Amino acid sequence: MSQAVEATDFQFENQTNVYHGKVRDVYSIGTDHLVMVASDRISAFDHILPKPIPFKGQVLNQIASLFLKATEDLVPNWVLSVPDENVTVGRRCETFPVEMVIRGYLSGHAWREYKAGRRLICGVTMPEGMKENDQFPKPIITPATKAEEGHDEDISREEIIRQGIVSEADYLKLEEYTRKLFQRGTEMAAERNLILVDTKYEFGKVGDTIYLIDEIHTPDSSRYFYAEGYAERQAKGEKQKQLSKEFVREWLIENSFQGLDGQKMPEMPDAFVQLVSDRYIELYEQITGKTFKKGDTTNLKERINKNTSAALKQLN
């Protein structure tokens, strides 16, 4: 099996800090730049699984790179270069503490709220008479903010502005950018015979300029349906065919793990690790329409270090 990026401990020139997230390691370079390394770790139910998935980091980094490039005419983004299959180098922004979640369909969290009898989500009214996975008359924006304990919490536009979390002028711009990005993502998905169901965007600021940051339109941050057969499945009340990492969650559930207290993370057979790797590559090819070219994993960390260090020398 190919090498995989499970953990990193690079020491880049002018490095001032490093943050190890669930799946990405973010290195601060000086005061103005960041290096984001997409590892091959995989998480589900807020837990990191015991084995990394070869090429997963490359898949996510390259999907995000493609969509950031394809939307830079709509909103400035943080990316300065993508020097390695697993690495993005970009501007360090002051992050807005709000995730801009936008939903074109009644799925996931919105459906769970709806099924529980609630028709108001993040201050937005959802129409009566909808079924799971029905399309909204117009995409709805349902922001989330991070609570101190780290869980996403629903919040309304009015509360964001009232609490001063984001200024009114900036927040209205975030909404405008969110709708434009979702429209572009929807159009690009349709070209691949896919439906972009819902997604989230994160933004930051340098001076007076708002930048799109992090990743966009990846299977880890977005939900896709296959367009073919969507209407028929809805009419019959059947589950929609998804393009996401839901199959990983399903495997964990089958093996008695949902991240609850007292549950033990199951062992991951090598065959399952290979299956997940293959599925991520399929996701890449389905979403982008491009053939996936595996990066050289002979000396994986050495490759990342060399390519990233060379890119950092080009920064002013």
As a three-state string, the secondary structure of 66-83 is HHHHHCCCCCCECEEEEE
Reported as half-sphere exposure (CB side, CA atoms, 13 A), residue 245 has a value of 21
Does residue 302 carry a pLDDT above 80? yes
Helix H segments across the chain? 56-70, 108-115, 157-162, 168-191, 230-236, 246-254, 270-288, 300-313
Instruction: Kindly report the pTM of this predicted structure.
Output: 0.92
Domain with CATH 3.30.470.20 in the chain: 95-217
CB count within 10 Å of CB 118 equals 11
Cβ(245)–Cβ(44) below 8 Å: yes
pLDDT band at 93 (very low <50, low <70, confident <90, very high): very high
Residues 163-190: pLDDT tens digits? 999 999 999 999 999 999 999 999 999 9
Question: Residue 219 has which token pair?
Answer: 């299977």
pLDDT at residue 147, rounded to an integer: 55
Please give the average per-residue pLDDT across 290-304, as a whole number: 95
pLDDT at residue 46, rounded to an integer: 83
Residues 179-238: pLDDT tens digits? 999 999 999 999 999 999 999 999 999 999 999 999 999 988 899 999 999 999 999 999
pLDDT band at 246 (very low <50, low <70, confident <90, very high): confident
DSSP 179-198: HHHHHHHHHHHHHTTEEEEE
Residues 6-23: pLDDT tens digits? 999 999 999 999 999 989
Domain with CATH 3.30.200.20 in the chain: 15-93+244-313
> What is the percent of the chain with per-residue pLDDT over 70, rounded to a whole number?
97
The span from the CA of 53 to the CA of 22, in Å, is: 13
Question: Residue 309 has which token pair?
Answer: 């260090």
Please give the average per-residue pLDDT across 129-134, as a whole number: 97
Bridge pairing between strands 144-146 and 79-84: unpaired
* Strand partners of residue 207: none
Identify the burial level of 138 via C-beta atoms within 10 angstroms of its C-beta, where 0-12 means exposed, 13-18 middle and 19 or more buried.
exposed
Residue-averaged pLDDT of the chain? 94
Does residue 152 carry a pLDDT above 80? no
Cβ(106)–Cβ(136) below 8 Å: yes
The span from the CA of 33 to the CA of 120, in Å, is: 40
6-10, 46-50, 68-72, 194-198, range with the lowest pLDDT: 46-50
Cβ(301)–Cβ(294) below 8 Å: no
* Strand partners of residue 15: 29
Does residue 309 carry a pLDDT above 70? yes
Q: Which residues of 68-84 are buried (b: 16+ CB within 10 A; e: fewer)?
A: beebeeebbbbbebbbb
Pick from 91, 107, 197, 200: nearest CA to 145: 200
- The CATH architecture assigned to 95-217 reads 2-Layer Sandwich (3.30)
The fold for domain 15-93+244-313 equals: Phosphorylase Kinase; domain 1 (3.30.200)
Residues 260-273: pLDDT tens digits? 899 999 999 999 99
- Phi, psi angle pair for 147, to nearest 5°: -80, 170
pLDDT band at 244 (very low <50, low <70, confident <90, very high): confident
Taking the CA atoms of the chain, what radius of gyration do you get in angstroms?
A: 20
Please give the average per-residue pLDDT across 130-140, as a whole number: 97
Does residue 136 carry a pLDDT above 70? yes
Torsion of CA 151, 152, 156, 160, to 10 degrees: 70
pLDDT at residue 202, rounded to an integer: 96
